[in-house]
Amino acid sequence: MTEFQKKYDALRAAFEQTLSDRLGALSFKPSVLDESFRYSLQLGGKRLRPVLMFAAAQMLGGRIADVAPLAVALEMIHTYSLIHDDLPAMDDDDFRRGQPSSHKKFGEGQAILAGDALLNYAYQICFEECKKGRTYLNAALLIAKNAGALGMVAGQAADLFWQGQEGAGEREYEFIAQNKTAKMFMSAAAAPAYVYGADENTAAILLEYGKNLGLLFQITDDLLDVGGDFAKLGKTVGKDEREKKVSAVRIYGIGYCETKADHYCELCCKLLSDLPYECGFLEELTRTVRSRER
């Protein structure tokens, strides 16, 4: 196991502990809501966004604990989006991380509500932590903007709008990838800078880094949809083509996607090197996203 992998696992484990502590203190009624709320959060996954947030906090000289509640909130928002995305009226996927998706397990109505509950709770955490005196306001605003109609939801709406339609090209793909995927990475990467009140330049570079890491993530996601396999991904593959989704592979072709992925990867590393911090871990994280699951 490499030093990078050890550190990634440690950050992920720290996140799992934080999440588990918080969930342990919660109890919702009715029991179906309690179960559906926990189920999707605890399916695990790489926890890439929380790990990114923790790593950015450490890079800036801070501690995991400084941003841990924000990381939980962001992961709740990410999880709500997956639950709603998997619904038959959206991306219609029966599996998530190798397990039945929320609506297959709890029914569509309860899945919609599980997503709604996670979204509300994510913001409840932000308000609670602000009340405790944490300097979370700017970061929470960043997260809310990037999650909603000026961010992720806009990307999802465009993605859904163009699915199966003719005429979507590079511009539409870029809009979808930037909003649906990259804005959540921007929140993860830059939130710690907002929490610490870092200078504007640092925040701007972390936002730009997050954006390009998100674009890299999306393009490798699209490549995996044609080249990946279910056992590794835990979700259905080959859907983009079957359902005529706006995917990088359909717009650019596999070869140019690989080139673009390399470009985003290098751009990320360049941005990190512009920061006056030790960025070795984030650089390796970037390269791992580039070469993931294959």
Interacting residue ranges for a copy of itself, rule: CB under 8 A: 28-30, 32-33, 36-37, 80-81, 84, 87, 89-90, 103, 107-113, 115-117, 119-121, 123-124, 126-128, 130-131, 137-138, 140-141, 144-145, 147-150, 153-154, 156-158, 160-161, 175
Residue 108 CB, shortest distance to a copy of itself, in Å, is 3
Contact between residue 106 and residue 32 where contact means Cβ atoms under 8 Å apart? yes
Residue 34 CB, shortest distance to a copy of itself, in Å, is 8
Residue 151 CB, shortest distance to a copy of itself, in Å, is 8
Residue 259 CB, shortest distance to a copy of itself, in Å, is 28
d(CA 226, CA 212): 22
d(CA 200, CA 102): 40
73 CB contacts (<8 Å, ≥6 apart)?
122, 123, 125, 126, 140, 143
Q: Which is closer to a copy of itself, CB of 43 or CB of 144?
A: 144
Q: Which is closer to a copy of itself, CB of 44 or CB of 164?
A: 164
Q: Helix or strand or coil: residue 239?
A: helix
d(CA 77, CA 63): 22
Q: Which is closer to a copy of itself, CB of 32 or CB of 237?
A: 32
Residue 145 CB, shortest distance to a copy of itself, in Å, is 6
Q: Which is closer to a copy of itself, CB of 43 or CB of 160?
A: 160
Residue 237 CB, shortest distance to a copy of itself, in Å, is 21
d(CA 129, CA 112): 26
Q: Residue ranges of the alpha helices (H) in the chain?
A: 3-24, 31-41, 48-59, 64-86, 102-106, 108-131, 137-147, 152-162, 170-176, 183-196, 200-227, 230-233, 239-242, 248-273, 280-290
Q: Which is closer to a copy of itself, CB of 186 or CB of 267?
A: 186
Q: Which is closer to a copy of itself, CB of 113 or CB of 198?
A: 113
